[in-house]
A and B are shown apart, each in its own frame.
Chain A
Amino acid sequence: MTHPISDVLSALSRNSQHVASVYDSEAQAMGDLPKAAVTGLRGASALLAAGEDSWRLHPHLRDYLQDHLQVFPAYQALADLGALVTQLAALQEEAELAANARDFDSMREQHNRLTGVIYDTHHFIEKNLRMLTAMLSVKYGAVGSLHAKAAQNRWYQKAAGDMSSSLNRLSKLANRLEQEADDRGWDIAKLWRLQIIRPLTEWHTRLADIQSVLRQEQYRLREVSVNLRNLSRVDAFFSQHPGWSGLEAEPPEQLPDVLLRAPGLRLRVNLDPQDDDPQVRPALEEAARHTPTKIVVRTPEPARRVRPIRDEPQAAEQPNAYQALLRAFMLSVMQAGQPVSVLQWARAPAAAAVLRPPAGTAVRPGSWLMFVVCALNGRTVRIQGKPVRFEVEEVSNPPAPGALFVQSFRDALVRVKP
């Protein structure tokens, strides 16, 4: 089963070109449309007779198409609320007459129509206000000149004025009809309250705001045209009167601010830094004191990345054979309590037990003797935490025959110096 509106939509679709031409021409002459298109569109209630010889689109269809196209021509006509208000009054009157005659079918029919018109009225008032607001925001559509803009302002001012009087009429009518419907116990009273009476205050406010903006705009444009006229007149006057320099008359008693604009003070630093006048110097110093300190902005340096340097673990140094022997020798001297011969100590079996030269090393007697003499003669050595001073006495070789002095020694005696 197809929906009832399917036929309507298909009729509009079949005759879309004709709908468009009627939409464009406001009213189409009857002879311009084919008979089939007229039949189809009339069947869908899309076409209404306008007078005796032309067709018009159904107002709601035209309204819908305009909404869809969002057309903002320079001079938009608002929906006529006056006709709707008259229709509302007539329908309610008919409903009351039908009720008085106890013709309830007719009364219900009038109620249904009244409901539709109340919803339509609400819709068209909202739409008018929306459109006026939209027009204000686009400065009522683009026009080419100041003159056209002023005419456009007057157009919308008149439209807003008409709408305001319609709203006043509607306000009085709605209150009366709502009261009557309420007295009769009709549900339509609730509709009056919800759809018309409650939003009326807001509608009045919005319309008053729009009218106020329009008045301001009209005033502004009047001012603009006066300014530009003055500009052109003065320009022409200057070119026609090259000798005129200004007004010679005395200024009026009440001077306007425009003539009292003060000249600039030419603010400049008025100090000569080379002047050594005793009165100027303190002023210079004072000025210097009040000079703001130059703020040095230091750019923060990037944080330095510190990498700890760790010494590679080194292998323990192999003890020198002479050093190991010297340490053992020093301990022996300290324990002996008397001078100890360096070479004899090295040759003794006890020393051999103490002495353990590392593998691959050897001690030669002559080198050992020189090493001990150089290492211990007059030196203080820290052994087991205590400083110990050693004394070395060389055992000289016998002098060569005929020589007075000895140049070499064959051993040394070492003891701890008390």
Chain B
Amino acid sequence: MWALKQALTLLAEGHFVDPIAHPDAFDALDTPEGRQRAGDWLEAIGYRLAQIEGGGSFFAAYQTVDVEGRKHARETMRNLRQKLQPVVQYLETVRIGQGRASTLLPGDDIALDELMAAVRSNVAFEQRLQELRDMHGARSNESAQDRLVRVLKALMDDGYLVEMSSAHKVYRITGKIEWFYQLLAFMNDNLPQLSDDGVVDSIEAQLPLEPAAGEQAGAGIQAE
């Protein structure tokens, strides 16, 4: 009962209830009875219980797509940059730091030590950290490592990470990132600059570097 109350409070406050950050609340919701009770409760305030595809996180969504719902969707679309940019640049930074092994999936662990090692060995990663903009409270002269800590802290404050070990600074990616990926996919599908439509793979014929037999380098010039 306590877990279901926690889940309802989280939903009403606009949080995601996922199995990584809130396992008890998620388990309470992930039952027919829990869904029913949460659905009834949210219905009373004009919301409904939604879930990320494939059994992901639960969240509260508008119950019907009425005027208010469409207005909210329009505002979300118009403010995509404001909503996404900080998280996009922070997660892309982490991805660059993790290198080819990066998957950035819910449940993946991110260790500060590993990223610190990447700062020392990867110049591009260090440069990326120094070029991060609009970081709250960041100073221009602070080190790349301090910036890395700020990046992880910001992601944690936004609910994309939870701290698993404060002593070893290990963080775990939460289920909220799936919603973020869906928003990115929506943006990709609806922004012509990002879409793959119209891109055709083709090999352009190259002119031979060596002149063909019988041709001279200055063949095009009429000899007087």
Give the CA-CA distance A244 to B89 in the complex, in Å: 15
Let me know if A267 and B13 touch, CB within 8 A.
Answer: yes
Q: How many A-B pairs fall under 8 Å by CB?
A: 136
B209 at the interface (CB under 8 A from A): no
B222 at the interface (CB under 8 A from A): no
A137-180 CB mask vs B (1 if < 8 Å, else 0) is 00000001111000000000000000000000000000000000
A209-237 CB mask vs B (1 if < 8 Å, else 0) is 00000000000100010111011111101
Let me know if B101 and A235 touch, CB within 8 A.
Answer: no
Let me know if B79 and A246 touch, CB within 8 A.
Answer: yes
Let me know if A146 and B100 touch, CB within 8 A.
Answer: yes
Let me know if B78 and A248 touch, CB within 8 A.
Answer: yes
A257-277 CB mask vs B (1 if < 8 Å, else 0) is 111111111110000000000
Let me know if B77 and A251 touch, CB within 8 A.
Answer: yes
A295 at the interface (CB under 8 A from B): no
Give the CA-CA distance A230 to B191 in the complex, in Å: 12
Partner of B89, one of A220, A224, A235, A265: A235
Q: How close is B209's CB to chain A, nearest CB, in angstroms? A: 32
Let me know if B62 and A262 touch, CB within 8 A.
Answer: yes
Give the CA-CA distance A266 to B13 in the complex, in Å: 6
A247 at the interface (CB under 8 A from B): yes
Let me know if B70 and A256 touch, CB within 8 A.
Answer: no
A310 at the interface (CB under 8 A from B): no
A250 at the interface (CB under 8 A from B): yes
Let me know if B184 and A231 touch, CB within 8 A.
Answer: yes
Which residue on B lies nearest to A242, using beta carbons?
B81
Range of interface residues on B (Cβ < 8 Å): 35 or more
B82 at the interface (CB under 8 A from A): yes
B105 at the interface (CB under 8 A from A): yes
Chain B at the A interface: SS class: helix
Q: Which of A233, A238, A246 counts the most B-chain CB atoms under 10 A from its CB?
A: A246
Residues of B within 8 A of A248 (CB): 77-78
Residues of A within 8 A of B9 (CB): 267
Give the CA-CA distance A248 to B80 in the complex, in Å: 10
Give the CA-CA distance A308 to B102 in the complex, in Å: 77
Q: How close is A250's CB to chain B, nearest CB, in angstroms? A: 7
Which residue on B lies nearest to A229, using beta carbons?
B188
Q: B residues 180-212 with Cβ under 8 Å of A?
A: 181-188, 190-191, 193-194
B69 at the interface (CB under 8 A from A): yes
B61-103 CB mask vs A (1 if < 8 Å, else 0) is 1100100011011101111111011001101100100001111
Which residue on A lies nearest to B99, using beta carbons?
A145
Let me know if B61 and A262 touch, CB within 8 A.
Answer: yes
Given the contacts A228-B104, A251-B77, A260-B65, A234 and B186 also touching, CB distance less than 8 Å:
no
Let me know if B73 and A262 touch, CB within 8 A.
Answer: no
Give the CA-CA distance A264 to B89 in the complex, in Å: 25
Q: How close is A10's CB to chain B, nearest CB, in angstroms? A: 48
Given the contacts A233-B194, A251-B70, A261 and B101 also touching, CB distance less than 8 Å:
no
B223 at the interface (CB under 8 A from A): no
Q: Which of A145, A226, A247, A258 counts the most B-chain CB atoms under 10 A from its CB?
A: A258
Give the CA-CA distance A248 to B102 in the complex, in Å: 33
Which residue on A lies nearest to B9, using beta carbons?
A267
7 A-B pairs with C-beta separation under 8 A: A245-B79, A250-B74, A251-B77, A255-B69, A261-B59, A262-B62, A264-B15
